[in-house]
Amino acid sequence: MGVKKCACIDTLYTELPWEERFAAAKNDGFEAVEFWDWRIRDLEATRKAAEAAGIMISGFNGDADYSLVDPTHKEKYIDYLRQSVQAAKTVGAKSVTIHSNALGDGGVVVNHYDDLSDTVKLCSMYDMLLECAKIAEEEEINLNLEALNITTDHVGNFLKYTQMGAEICHLIGSPRLKLLYDVYHMQINEGCICDTITNYVDQFGHIHVADAPGRHEPGTGEINYKKVLRHLEACGYQGLVGYELFPLTDTAAAVKAIMEEC
């Protein structure tokens, strides 16, 4: 049957003007697109481009300058999340992605919070996620909490393991709050991809794909994506698989590899 493919158009199709990326992704066989920062996009133009192309917008990042692990950020985090949810509704997106720490340019973790204990960070994240889940349920939009690698791309990020993120989502128990399982990030942090999928797939709301090392298309690194994606299907995952990767050469070659390998 094959997975439902979603293209990150902040890394793929970047040779095209923004509004042309939607039709290009649709024509290449993607069922949806996603992107990063909604604040820098014309939301009405984005919605119209997606509608004209006949492609769904999966979602985008929703936390920007604020951190779940910082208890002093609670009011600001919640206020900004509400803005992100409304932006998602404007473009017709189904979800918003959130993180433990604020990310700056290039995904750099803005504050490592070395002055806070892991206990404070965890309790703050849990407390804020309870409020986030209420908003998601009220607004009927999905939130996907993403763990990130801490050695290559996001040094200092607090949420780094699948188990912690999945267990928090399970404890909160909202159908609108799930984990974004990024295979690339988790290969770097913890490995054991198929076992992890088996153990926690019921808490996955979205999947991200890139090969490791390098963060390029499948087939350029060490991850056996044919096995991984078939295992996802066998374990009952029915959501989107987002290709958030940087082409090794160009978009056309990356898309060819995506469609052949996955």
Give the tens place of pLDDT for each residue, 106-141: 999 999 999 999 999 999 999 999 999 999 999 999
| Residues 6+ positions from 21 with CB-CB distance below 8 Å | 9, 12, 13, 14, 33, 49
User: For the chain, how far is it from start to end, CA to CA, in angstroms?
Assistant: 11
Mean pLDDT of the chain: 97
Q: Residues 31-47: what's their mean pLDDT?
A: 98
Tokens of 58: 């999966």
Q: Residues 72-86: what's their mean pLDDT?
A: 98
Question: Within 13 Å of residue 127, how many CA atoms lie on the same side as its CB?
Answer: 15
Residue 62 to residue 128: CA distance in whole angstroms: 14
Confidence of residue 262 (pLDDT cuts 50, 70, 90): low
Give the tens place of pLDDT for each residue, 93-102: 999 999 999 9
Give the tens place of pLDDT for each residue, 189-222: 999 999 999 999 999 999 999 999 999 999 999 9
Residue 185 to residue 154: CA distance in whole angstroms: 9
Question: Scanning the structure block, which residue is given the tokens 């990326």?
Answer: 21
The pLDDT value recorded for residue 261 is 75
The pLDDT value recorded for residue 64 is 86
Confidence of residue 1 (pLDDT cuts 50, 70, 90): low
Question: Scanning the structure block, which residue is given the tokens 């088996």?
Answer: 198
